Homo-oligomer: A and B are copies of this chain.
Amino acid sequence: MNRLSLNQITTKSWSLPEAVEGCAAAGIEWIGLWRDKVAEVGVEESARLLRRHGVRVSSLCRGGFFTGVTPEGEPVDGIAMTREAIDEAVALGTDVLVLVVGGVADHDLAGSRQRVADALGELAPYARERGVRLGLEPLHPMQCAERSVLSTLGQALALAEDHPADAVGVVVDEFHVWWDPEVEHSIARSAGRILGFHVCDQLVPLTDTLLGRALPGRGPIDHRRLRECVEAAGYHGPIEVEVFNAEVWRTPGDVVLRDMIGAYRRHVL
């Protein structure tokens, strides 16, 4: 149980103070923070709240968008944004920054992937100097066009391996990789590079490409199997429960935490 982490998106209606207090009250020792929630109260106040409640930060979400365009099609300077996020990770006391690398720009998939590699080359030294590791999170292929040209764990690992292991690693999120026939092999190959393990399930039928997630146990994902794989690869850090789901988001946060703890016990541990 001491590895369980609330990824803050799971209690989307909660502010950062509510989420931190909620974790403390429920005995959850870790939290995965989102930058927009941190911004609402400020980095210093966030850090103070975390210390006061004894809740540690498993990761900060997110840097990236290196292809220069947001999911909504707006231009973005992903490198500058990620530098800020690295600094923020330091201030919040976490050494893991999750990267969502950005979707296809200018109808050019190969060029977009090259932009990601180039950005990593620029940012890896900056992160390493500050003791922050960049966590490449491959996103489900259905999010390739809009959010992430990084689509498999093998591809993420290949990118990471161009850099020192204390600068760039990978984040394994079940929702994004469970279907991959190579996933167990890729997890094993990621030994020493795994910076996070995110669990959730996939709704069936899958009717929404973003919100089609659920608490573990509702769908086809074998959570124990994947947990055993990341552990065999040497990862024994926090396990974030990260659920994008409109129904979960309408549920009071304390009920979500209770359900989350139950699902984690029954299906992940």
Contact = CB atoms under 8 A, between A and B. Distances in A.
A141 interface: yes
A2 interface: no
A74 B182 CA distance: 29
Nearest to A105: B220
A220 to B, nearest CB: 4
A128 to B, nearest CB: 25
Given A181-B113, A220-B107, A204 B142 contact: no
A107 B104 CA distance: 33
B179 A141 contact: yes
Contacts of A209: 142, 205-207, 209
Interface string A131-162: 00000000011111110010110110000000
Contacts of A113: 181
A41 B258 CA distance: 57
Interface string A181-201: 110000000000000000000
A205 B109 contact: no
A180 interface: yes
A181 B154 CA distance: 9
A74 to B, nearest CB: 13
A154 B186 CA distance: 15
7 contacts: A113-B181, A141-B142, A142-B209, A144-B179, A146-B205, A146-B206, A209-B209
Interface of A: 71, 104, 107, 109, 113, 140-146, 149, 151-152, 154-155, 178-182, 202, 204-207, 209, 219-220, 222
